[in-house]
């Protein structure tokens, strides 16, 4: 009996004064609930709008100014042309209500949101402006052409259904020949550039063709029927697109109640520009069309009817 009592007393003392070591169990977190410790850094969007009252390729050059700036400064470009774009149609075109996407694929995976600020200045935030560089410094412009081409290839992708039309025309009418492109701007630009006479361009085109061996032909892109008729009567081997052209000397890119095919007109301008870029030479006065062409094709040789020196060849 005493032995039993002694054992009980010993057990009581052991439980009161002996510390039991506590080893916590490792908490298991289900895999689907594991949260990465990496911080999410949102991409900085740079929304580029169109400048009202600018023509198609002038808007194109403005977009390129700002896309190149965005890439240089670590921004993600997003295009947002609106109802002030000269080829805007309220009902949309090619399944899109966004004028940029009438003709091109989106430039990035980000999209415009109604709360986004939109940059609507022709030149970039640092004043980078390719057409102005062309006007002021031909050599500097030529140095930029390859970089501009890289930006175009990366960001400005023409819709495939438009490219199909361009390729079809090229294979049917241009492949296998040396093509001298002529951009003859009429209507409102002709009134500003009175020093550039269509006949002068034609004379220079003939001189150039005489110096080139093999099959040579001329491709003309113009917005005025008068200029096309003049070229038809003066140049053998002339090819051209069946595009809408001004019959009365008034610019066709300016919206009016009489013009209901504005988006189609924009596509026609783009197709002519893309075909000019496939030429070996381009003769031109001051216009956004040939400036864009020289960036799309850095190797094209140009003959520029410069208002100061009259002629610049490169």
**pLDDT, tens digit, for every residue of 284-296?**
988 999 999 999 9
Return the percentage of the chain with pLDDT > 70, whole number.
Answer: 77
Please give the Cα distance from 200 to 195 (Å, whole number).
10
Q: Check pLDDT > 90 for residue 241.
A: yes
Q: What are phi and psi of 200, to 5 degrees?
A: -65, -40
The per-type count for the chain, helices as H runs and strands as E runs, is 11, 9
- Of 54-68, 139-153, 185-199, the least confident: 185-199
pLDDT of the residue at 40: 39
Q: Are 63 and 134 in contact (CB under 8 A)?
A: no
DSSP state of 86: T
State which H helix or E strand residue 118 sits in.
strand 118-119
pLDDT, average across residues 246-264: 70
* CB neighbour list of residue 154: distance below 8 Å, 6 or more residues apart: 71
Q: Which of 31-45, 56-70, 107-121 has the lowest mean pLDDT?
A: 31-45
Average pLDDT over every residue of 153-175: 98
> d(Cα 23, Cα 17) in Å, to the nearest integer?
19
Which element (helix H / strand E) includes 227? helix 225-234
Cβ pair 272, 241 in contact under 8 A: yes
Query: 27, exposed or middle or buried, with CB in 10 Å at 0-12, 13-18, 19+?
Result: exposed
pLDDT at 258 (0 to 100): 57
Instruction: Give SS3 for 279.
Output: coil
97-112 pLDDT, tens digit each = 999 999 999 999 999 9
Q: Is residue 148 within 8 Å of 65, Cβ to Cβ?
A: no
Residue 262, helix vs strand vs coil: helix
Q: What is the DSSP letter of 195?
A: T
CA distance 154 to 164: 19
Domains with residue ranges and CATH for the chain:
43-157 (no CATH), 160-313 (3.40.50.11350)
Give the pLDDT confidence score for residue 259 in this predicted structure: 59
Check pLDDT > 50 for residue 9: no
DSSP state of 4: H
How high is the pLDDT of residue 21? Answer: 43
Residues forming a β-bridge with 184: 222
- Looking at every residue in the chain, the average pLDDT score rounds to 84
What local confidence, expressed as pLDDT, does residue 189 receive? 53
Provide the pLDDT confidence category of residue 1 given band limits of 50, 70 and 90: very low
Confidence of residue 196 (pLDDT cuts 50, 70, 90): low
Residues 6+ apart with CB under 8 A from 86: 53, 54, 55, 56, 59, 253, 254, 255, 262, 266
Q: Which residue has the higher pLDDT, 259 or 78?
A: 78
Give the residues across from 247 on adjacent strands: none
pLDDT tens track for 123-151: 999 999 999 999 899 899 999 999 999 99
Q: What is the pLDDT of residues 78-93, one digit of tens each?
A: 999 999 999 999 999 9
């Amino acid at each position: 009996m005493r032995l039993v009592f002694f054992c009980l007393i010993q057990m009581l003392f052991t439980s009161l004064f002996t510390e039991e070591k506590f080893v916590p169990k490792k908490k298991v977190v289900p895999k689907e609930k594991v949260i990465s410790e990496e911080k999410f850094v949102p991409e900085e969007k740079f929304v580029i709008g169109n400048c009202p009252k600018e023509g198609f390729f002038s808007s194109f050059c403005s977009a390129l100014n700002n896309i190149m700036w965005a890439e240089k400064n670590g921004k993600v470009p997003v295009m947002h042309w609106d109802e002030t774009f000269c080829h805007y149609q309220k009902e949309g075109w090619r399944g899109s209500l966004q004028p940029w996407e009438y003709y091109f694929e989106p430039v990035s995976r980000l999209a415009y949101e109604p709360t986004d600020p939109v940059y609507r200045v022709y030149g970039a935030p640092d004043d980078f402006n390719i057409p102005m560089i062309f006007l002021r410094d031909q050599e500097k412009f030529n140095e930029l052409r390859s970089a501009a081409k890289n930006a175009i290839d990366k960001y400005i992708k023409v819709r495939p259904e438009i490219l199909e039309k361009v390729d079809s025309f090229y294979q049917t009418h241009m492949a296998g020949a040396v093509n001298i492109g002529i951009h003859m701007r009429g209507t409102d630009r002709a009134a500003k550039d009175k020093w550039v006479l269509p006949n002068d361009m034609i004379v220079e085109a003939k001189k150039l063709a005489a110096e080139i061996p093999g099959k040579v032909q001329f491709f003309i892109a113009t917005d005025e029927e008068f200029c096309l008729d003049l070229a038809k009567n003066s140049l053998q081997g002339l090819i051209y697109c069946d595009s809408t052209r001004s019959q009365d000397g008034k610019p066709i890119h300016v919206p009016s109640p009489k013009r209901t095919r504005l988006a189609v007109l924009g596509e026609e301008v783009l197709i002519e520009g893309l075909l000019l870029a496939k030429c070996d030479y381009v003769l031109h006065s001051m216009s956004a069309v040939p400036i864009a062409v020289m960036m799309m094709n850095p190797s094209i040789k140009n003959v520029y009817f410069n208002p100061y020196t009259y002629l610049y060849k490169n």
